[in-house]
Structure 1
Amino acid sequence: MVVGIGHMVFRIHQCGSLKGKRKVVKAIVARIRNHFNASVAEVADNDIYQRAVIGVSLVGSDRRLVNAKLDKMFNFAEDLGLAEMIDSQLEIISL
C-alpha cells in the first residue's frame, strides 16, 4: 500500500476577512475533491486572512500512479487561478 500526502500553501490576494478566505478555500477544496476523489482539507493558518494551507492525501497500490495524481492535483489547484500557490510539499510513504 502506498500513501501520498501533500500540502499546498496559497496566498489569497485582496482578502480582508475570514468570510472572503472561506469562500476561496471552499472553492479550491471542493474542486480538487470532486475532480480527483481525494481527501482534501484546510489544515493550518485558519485565522490568517491572506494565507491558506490545504492538505491532500491519496491511497493506492502503485507508487508512480499516486505520485502522478498528486502532481496533477497540485497543477490543477494552481491553474484554478483562485489564489497564488507559494509553496507545496509532497511525500510518498510505502507501507
Structure 2
Amino acid sequence: MVIGSLSVRLLVRESRTLKDKRQVVRSVLDRMRAAFNVSAAEVDTHDDVKLVTLAFAAVGFETAAVQSALQKIADALRVHPVAEYLGSEVTVGSEVV
C-alpha cells in the first residue's frame, strides 16, 4: 500500500473576510474531492484572510499512480481562476500492512 500527501499554499487576492476565504476553500476542496477521490482539508493559516494551506491524501497500490494523482491535483490548482498557486510539497511513501 502506498500513501501520498500533497500540501498546497494558495493566495486568494479577492478575499476581504474569512467568510470570503471559506467560500473559496470549500469550493476548491469539494471540486478536488469529487474529481480525484482524495481526502482533503484546510490544515494551516486559518486566521489569514488571503492565504490558504490545503492538504490532500491519496492511497493506492503503486507509487507512480499515487504521485500522478497528486500531481494532477497540483496542476488543477495551478490554473484555478480565483486562487493563485504559491507552491506545493509532495510526500509519497509505502507501508506494508
Q: TM-score, normalised by structure 2?
A: 0.94
Q: Partner of 2:15: helix, strand, or coil?
A: coil
Q: TM-score, normalised by structure 1?
A: 0.96
Cα offset for 1:14? 2.2
Q: Partner of 1:87: helix, strand, or coil?
A: strand
Give distance in 2, aligned partners of 1:84 and 1:18.
17
Give distance in 2, aligned partners of 1:41 and 1:52.
11
Amino acid at match of 1:18: L
Count of aligned positions: 95
Cα offset for 1:15? 1.3
Cα offset for 1:76? 1.1
Q: Partner of 2:13: helix, strand, or coil?
A: coil
Give distance in 2, aligned partners of 1:14 and 1:76.
19
Amino acid at match of 1:87: G
Give distance in 1, aligned partners of 2:15 and 2:80.
17
Q: Which moved more, 1:22-31 or 1:70-79?
A: 70-79
Q: Which runs of 5+ in 1 are unaligned?
A: none
Percent identity between the two aligned chains: 28
Are 1:45 and 2:58 an aligned pair? no
**Which ranges of 4 or more aligned residues in structure 1 deviate by more than 3 Å?**
none
Give distance in 2, aligned partners of 1:78 and 1:24.
15
Are 1:77 and 2:77 an aligned pair? yes
Q: Which runs of 5+ in 2 are unaligned?
A: none
